[in-house]
Amino acid sequence: MLSPGYVARRVLHALVVLAVVAVVTFFIVRLAPGGPAALADPALRDAERAVIEARLGLNDPLPIQFLKFVGNAVRGDLGQSFLFGTPTTQVIASRLGNTLILAGAALTLTLLVAVPLGTLSGLRPHSWLDRIVSFVSVVVLAVPVFWLGLILIIALAVLRPVLPAGGMYTTGMEGNLLDLLRHLLLPAVVLASASIAELLRYTRSSVRSAAKLDHVRTARAKGLPQRTVHVRHVLKNALIPVVTVIGLQLPRLVGGAAVTETIFAWPGMGRLSVEAALGRDYPLILGVTLVVAAAVVLFNLLIDLVYPLIDPRIRTDG
């Protein structure tokens, strides 16, 4: 049972983290060299640049700009996007769903591959399966995401065109589920690759550790069937820390999709963040950062709240 004090501390900690992210991101973005006016036309004279900055609200002192940002953000207004000319919240909302589709597919792929293979590998250490799985996972971890994406595009979209190279739909087939799945497969595999390798290795290690516990040896000594020992005593203990790792993968899949979405021209939050950074779209950079940070904080908060429920050994009253 979670104590109210434990829940309150975790919620307060989440809010503090979110506030720190907002402050640091705001000042780093504003103090970076260049700006929207300079990028729009580097040949602008100072007077012309000052007019543009005044129109965008960038001529006030930084503390005043920050207070205005906080005041508007509390009311749910993240400002007007410089690039799109529409409210930042609308731009983010139009891309957030696409990123959740990609992240959800990558997470599903991660769970379907990593947990079963990691479990089998951990239950059969030093077997041929364990050696192959360990070798492949190390190779996948060593391969850069952009390189893997380019190789898959060349192999499966150029040399043997069985899958589309990018985008979310074929022109004229918007809303077609089968067409969406064809476009989703390659970016989901690339985005999930590192997560699969990491979760697989962690599951393998956790299962091997759980198999050596005293009560597992006792269960074997009592003559319980091997399947019963594995399911009731090994997996039950091994998968508790794995749940934490899965929870940590979620925000990573949502926030770390910038490279994958850019390679495959996937119209999501990651690609949007790249466009915002290149265009010095301050409201959009802050908006995307805050949404991703909120996702990370929310997922971690859920882990903190769920973990004591699945592992009663964790104290929540201290």
Residues 6+ apart with CB under 8 A from 159: none
pLDDT at 273 over 90: no
Structure-token pair, residue 77 = 């207004």
Query: 109 with 103: CB under 8 angstroms?
Result: no
Angstrom distance (rounded) from CA 171 to CA 167: 9
Q: Which residue has the higher pLDDT, 308 or 273?
A: 273
The kind and range of the H/E element at 274 are: helix 269-278
Query: 23 with 65: CB under 8 angstroms?
Result: no
The model's pLDDT over 128-174, given as tens digits with 9 standing for 90+, comes to 988 998 899 889 888 888 899 999 999 999 998 899 988 899 888 88
**Model pLDDT, residue 33:** 73
The model's pLDDT over 211-258, given as tens digits with 9 standing for 90+, comes to 888 877 888 787 777 778 777 778 777 777 777 777 777 777 776 678
**Model pLDDT, residue 247:** 73
pLDDT at 184 over 90: yes
The answer to whether the Cα torsion of 87, 40, 268, 288 is positive or negative is negative
pLDDT band at 292 (very low <50, low <70, confident <90, very high): confident
Angstrom distance (rounded) from CA 311 to CA 228: 21
**Model pLDDT, residue 38:** 60
The kind and range of the H/E element at 287 are: helix 282-310
* Out of 198-212, 239-253, 301-315, least confident range: 301-315
pTM as predicted: 0.81
**Model pLDDT, residue 241:** 72
pLDDT at 95 over 70: yes
pLDDT band at 188 (very low <50, low <70, confident <90, very high): very high
The model's pLDDT over 20-34, given as tens digits with 9 standing for 90+, comes to 988 898 888 888 777
**Model pLDDT, residue 256:** 66
Query: 284 with 86: CB under 8 angstroms?
Result: no
Angstrom distance (rounded) from CA 281 to CA 81: 6
Average pLDDT over residues 75-80: 85
